[in-house]
Structure 1
Amino acid sequence: MSIKSIAAKIAAQIIFKQTQAWASQPVASQERVLKDLLKQAKHTQFGKDHHFEQIKTAADFARLVPIRDYEDLKPYIDRVVDGEKDILWKGKPLYFAKTSGTTSGAKYIPLTKASMPYHIKAARNAILHYIHETNKADFVDGKMIFLQGSPILEQKNGIQFGRLSGIVAHFVPKYLQKNRLPSLKTNCIEDWETKIDAIVAETYQQDMTVISGIPSWVQMYFERLEQKTGQRVGQLFENFNLFIYGGVNYEPYRAKFENLIGRRVDSIELFPASEGFFAYQDSQKQKGMLLLLDAGIFYEFIKSDEFYTNNPKRYTIGEVALGINYVLIVSTNAGLWGYNIGDTVAFTTLSPYRVVVSGRIKHYISAFGEHVIGKEVESALQEATLGTQIRINEFTVAPQITPATGLPYHQWYIEFEQEPQDLEAFALALDSAMRKQNMYYNDLIVGNILKKVVVTKVVQNGFQQYMKAIGKLGGQNKIPRLSNNRDIVDLLNTK
């Protein structure tokens, strides 16, 4: 056992005990966070506008600080981007994480001196929890790859900005630098396909032990490795036994990954975003990710089926329940207040508080009142393929409201790695699974309002072609599982 792996095990014990301390006092931990956030920001423009000095409780906060999304907060953010200080958080941010916007164009999410360390700590602590639980630490001696955006940063009024993963790349601890791939030169390549080929060239002869990234883009890396070497990933990298991912649910990709690797490997799920690092998988035995209650973020939760009602109730951590989908609202030490990040979560355990990402509040299908969410389509697809040889690369679902003939329906666009022998039987199994997942959808089928799902096959690499066509190939970009319109599916190449 190396000195590095021994040190990792000692660090894992320390972090585990620290985590236990705040996780065992969830309500008190969140009260401390809210109190500190208000204290730090009470003299900012936002703090003055919203009477932070009067706020003593979470109820006061909910009364005085309305829920906002980026568009609502944009007047304040624009002032920060213009170089003003003490607007949302004291001073100026260290960075802006630039993300794709909707009606606003590019979005600039502030990252401050207070918030930035938590992005690094959370990723580190996820790995240390894995080491503590499994006692596996030998992987720290091998090479690790993090598929991420370019670390090249631009400047706006004296503040650097770029992709979150590119910003984080500048904070990789020194003890990981020698083990980390790809090289800076390769990481700076903007074109994703060129970058993947360069990463393959740099890594295929290395002792890779940890691979990290969004599953859809890691899959592309694995496929290119196999094309170059004629070997499965698990043969090429004999010591590769840990996959770290975030951004999307891994389960729809699992069968394809195990085929590409040739065996099952352990995995750690992360829940990072430009707005904050919210949770990570702390156990291989328990479902869900540990919600980080002591990391400069105050959480509120709104039931997703009440979100669009007038003045929906905002629940704090001590008020949530199992089995309910909540819209996640955050207030952070980067200066986001009552901020709707767009994700919905469901709790899997309440001691400690663990969550799964169940979907996006704006990514759903409710063309007929069914309100189907991402978690439901992913679970239905998992059930329909269970025990079969069917393997799926990527998929998305959209409603067909005005078919040429017959009843409307949900249309599943699927890129198969291994197609079903009987597509119609597969569609029936998928529809049956969906009816179990969503009672409103079942009612629409029973009531003869909708006909059963229609499965449309997408050409090989069809989703990659789509992402390339819209300029979002690679990085942190991902295909929405659901749309309430046909803007995406009408651009896909189908068989």
Structure 2
Amino acid sequence: MLKSLINNVLKWNLQWRLDEIEFFKEFPEKIQRKVLKELVENAKYTDYGVRHQFQKIGSYEDFRKNVPIVQYEDIEPYIARAKRGEHNVLWPGEVNYFAKSSGTTNDRSKYIPVSIDALEECHYKAGRDMLGIYFSLFPESRLFHGLSLRIGGSTQFINEANGSYSGDLSAILIKNFPAWVQWRSTPDQEIALISDWEEKIEKVIEITIKQDVTSMAGVPSWLYVMAQRIIQKTGVRHLHEIWPNMELYIHGGVSFVPYRHAFQKLFPGDRVHYLETYNASEGFFGIQDLKEPGAILLMLDYGIFYELIPVEKLDGAAEHIIPIWEAQTGVNYALVISTNAGLWRYMPGDTIIFSETKPLRFSISGRTKLYINAFGEELMIDNAERAIRKACLETQAEVRDFTAGPHYFDGHGSGAHEWIIEFERKPRDFAAFCTILDEELRRLNSDYDAKRYKDMTLKAPIVHQAPDQLFYNWLKSKNKLGGQNKVPKLKNDRVLLDELLNLMK
């Protein structure tokens, strides 16, 4: 009786926002112009706002003229100042939290500012909306009869003098969750923020297998690792034997397509619903608002102003950028955001394609650069090329061409990256080459390093030596010899890998 009362009260409190969501679905331009006006007004006396004359911005056209399109390297000096405790740099007041994200060409990791406004008006507002939308889709839900399983990242205290923190976004969110969320979550904050992943997972398992868990949220690769540990430890056939009332898995961060079959084995039948979100260190952008997977609703009133650049016109970004209300279906766009954490016309590197424009529903199509992100590792082409160079230097090898992609979980262990490398001159020690490649990737990319920790999510790379002319023959088979045609160095799927491996047989 008490559980039903709690469930109904929380459900009612979470659904009041649905009318506002319907409003921005209908009037995207009106809402986004309001968001832009409020962002500019709030930040006009910051250092960045003064430098770019925010006081003179009265329209989107003024904003577009006054404020440059930037990437992380362009604003890193401002972020460094904010991390040192300076006030009013990119956003009013002091920013105390910085989400540690994957590396760029210059740094091992990026540090994305997360203001209190971003926590409250973006991330936590999105969390409430996510549950409100879920209850509207499944009104008979008994979600709050049980607990929500969470596995956070690690948070490191950076500077005791100014009180700034950096760590995984999930850790920052958990550290600041409101009391009602903490009350309905498991494990407690102390365990959720343990920095040693193996220790954390063991403690999470020990506690949660005795609890009534009805939902879980997180990146599929980490939750799959934990699920496999539970099955090994308890001897159950699937997780419904542990959590019979599990009904919701909220996922994001990487494509769920490679994991869907594996999770359906973990939770057989149709009792578990899957809800996709688009959440990043830079902000919470979208929530699946339909029962059918595949389309995500762009959330327009979270203190984020959206612009778009057609991917094929990135070289002329300033000329071809458009506001979100001019989006067209079927076009591959690079995302540009201005946020209530002080990111201004910032390119996070994601690309999206809209399937509808009223409301604005989209799917994530990839990154603006070559990458592998099947397990949340965000391995970029610069990382790969630098690691290859290091391995060649150490083993006196020369590489003619290469490609790499994901090797997915096979149900019995971790995933991996699979490489096919055609050598001009073979390494004096092939095993050493592979080891150096892996070690250099770990040094260059903190997210890859985290996934490689004790082989929990990623095993050591699987590396094949390609026969002579493999890549040439593949291009020839595609009628792509000459010109600008080349074999993609990194792919986030196995299509190219499998074609090349078939040619090697």
Range into which the TM-score falls when normalised by the shorter chain: 0.7 to 0.9
CA distance in 2, matches of 1:223, 1:211: 15
Query: In the alignment, what sits opposite 1:40?
Result: 42
Aligned to 1:249: 255
Give 1:416 shift. Answer: 5.0
Task: State the partner residue of 2:209.
Answer: 204
One-letter identity of the residue aligned with 1:241: E
Q: What are the superposed Cα offsets for residues 73-108 of structure 1, whole Å, 9 maximum, x if unpaired?
A: 112222222222122111111322233432123322
Q: What residue number does 1:122 align with? A: 126
Report the alpha carbon displacement of residue 136 of structure 1 after superposing the two structures with TM: 3.2
Contact 1:97 1:274 survives alignment (8 Å) = yes
Structure 1 pair 134–474 and aligned structure 2 pair: CA distance change class (3 A): farther
Distance 2:357 2:296 in 1: 11
The correspondence for 1:88, drawn from 52, 76, 90, is 90
Corresponding residue for residue 284 of structure 2: 277
The answer to whether the 8 Å contact 1:345/1:358 transfers is yes
TM-aligned CA deviation for residue 418 of structure 1? 6.5
Number of the residue aligned with 1:434: none
Cα distance between partner residues in 2 of 1:396 and 1:41? 34
Aligned residues: 416
Counterpart of 1:131 in 2: which secondary structure?
Answer: helix
Asked whether the equivalents of residues 9 and 137 of structure 1 are also in contact (C-alpha less than 8 Å), the reply is no
2:153 to 138, 144, 149: 149
Q: Which moved more, 1:94-103 or 1:392-401?
A: 392-401
Equivalent position amino acid for 1:68 in 2: V
Match of 2:466 in 1: none
Residues 393-427 of structure 1: per-residue CA shift (max 9 Å, x gap): 999999999xx9xx9786555245179xxxxxxxx
SS in 1 for 2:347: strand
**3-state SS of 2:17 partner:** helix
Q: What is the identity, as a one-letter code, of the residue corresponding to 1:260? A: L
SS of alignment partner, residue 268 of structure 1: strand
Q: What is the aligned counterpart of 2:489 among 484, 489, 492?
A: 484
Q: Deviations over 1:361-390 (max 9, x none)?
A: 1235xxxxxxxx98xxx9xxxxxxxxxxxx
Which digits, 9 at most, give the CA deviation of each residue in 1:199-240, with x for residues without a partner?
Answer: 111111211110111000000011001001111112221111
Residues 72/412 of structure 1: CA separation in 2 closer, same or farther (3 Å cut): closer
Partner of residue 240, structure 1: 246
Q: Unpaired segments of 5 or more residues in structure 2? A: 389-396, 413-433, 459-486, 495-500
Q: Deviations over 1:109-157 (max 9, x none)?
A: 2222322202111012111111012103311120210122135644365
Structure 2 CA distance, aligned partners of 1:255 and 1:327? 30
The answer (yes or no) to whether the contact 1:393–1:417 under 8 Å persists in 2 is no
Q: Deviations over 1:40-66 (max 9, x none)?
A: 111111111111122222222222211
CA apart distance, 1:182: 1.4
Superposition pairs of residues 202-351 of structure 1, within 5 angstroms: 202-231=207-236, 232-264=238-270, 265-285=272-292, 287-309=294-316, 311-351=318-358
Letter in 1 for 2:146: G
Matched, 1:168 2:168: no
Give a deviation string over 1:279-298, Cα, whole Å, max 9, x none.
Answer: 11122146422211111111
The answer as to whether partners of 2:330 and 2:353 remain within 8 angstroms in 1 is yes
Give the partner amino acid of 1:175: W
Q: TM-score, normalised by structure 1?
A: 0.75
Three-state SS of the structure 2 residue aligned to 1:340 is: coil
2 CA distance for matches of 1:235 and 1:23?
40
Partner of 1:471: 449
- In 2, the alpha carbon distance for the partners of 1:204 and 1:244 equals 19
Match of 1:14, SS state, is: coil
The alpha-carbon distance between structure 1 residues 310 and 337, as it changes in their structure 2 partners (threshold 3 A), is closer
Residue type of the partner of 2:109? A
Letter in 1 for 2:126: A
Deviates more, 1:307-316 or 1:65-74: 307-316
Structure 2: distance between partners of 1:218 and 1:156:
33
Q: Which residue of 2 aligns with 1:138?
A: 142
Question: Quick check: 352-361 or 217-226, which moved more?
Answer: 352-361
- CA drift of 1:256 comes to 1.0
Q: Paired residue for 2:364?
A: 357
Query: Secondary structure at the residue paired with 2:171?
Result: helix
Larger mean CA deviation between 79-88 and 92-101 belongs to 92-101
Structure 1 unaligned regions, length at least 5: 365-372, 379-391, 420-457
1:483/1:43 CA distance change after superposition, 3 Å: farther
Map 1:5-154 → 2, pairs under 5 A? 5-102=7-104, 103-117=106-120, 118-151=122-155, 153-154=157-158
Q: Which amino acid aligns with 2:259?
A: Y
Once the 2 structures are TM-superposed, how far is the Cα of residue 484 of structure 1 from its aligned partner? 3.1
Instruction: Return the alpha-carbon distance in structure 1 between the equivalents of residues 276 and 202 of structure 2.
Output: 26
Matched to 1:229, the amino acid is: T
Aligned to 1:189, what secondary structure does the other structure show? coil
For the Cα contact (< 8 Å) 1:86–1:92, is it kept in 2? yes
Find the aligned partners of 1:301 and 1:235 in 2 and give their Cα distance: 46
2:478 alignment counterpart? none
- Answer whether contact 2:304 2:339 (CA < 8 A) is retained: yes
One-letter code aligned to 1:30 = Q
Note the alpha carbon deviations across 1:286-345, whole angstroms, 9 max, x for none.
642221111111111111121134644111111111111111110011111010111111
Q: Distance in 1 between matches of 2:448 and 2:175?
A: 28
Q: Equivalents in 2 of 1:234, 1:138: separation in Å?
A: 16
CA pair 310-415 structure 1, distance change in 2 beyond 3 A: closer
Structure 2 counterpart of 1:195, which letter? K
Q: Does the CA contact (< 8 Å) of 2:295 and 2:355 recur in 1?
A: yes
- C-alpha distance after superposition, 1:254-289 (max 9, x if no partner): 001111223342011121122111111122146422
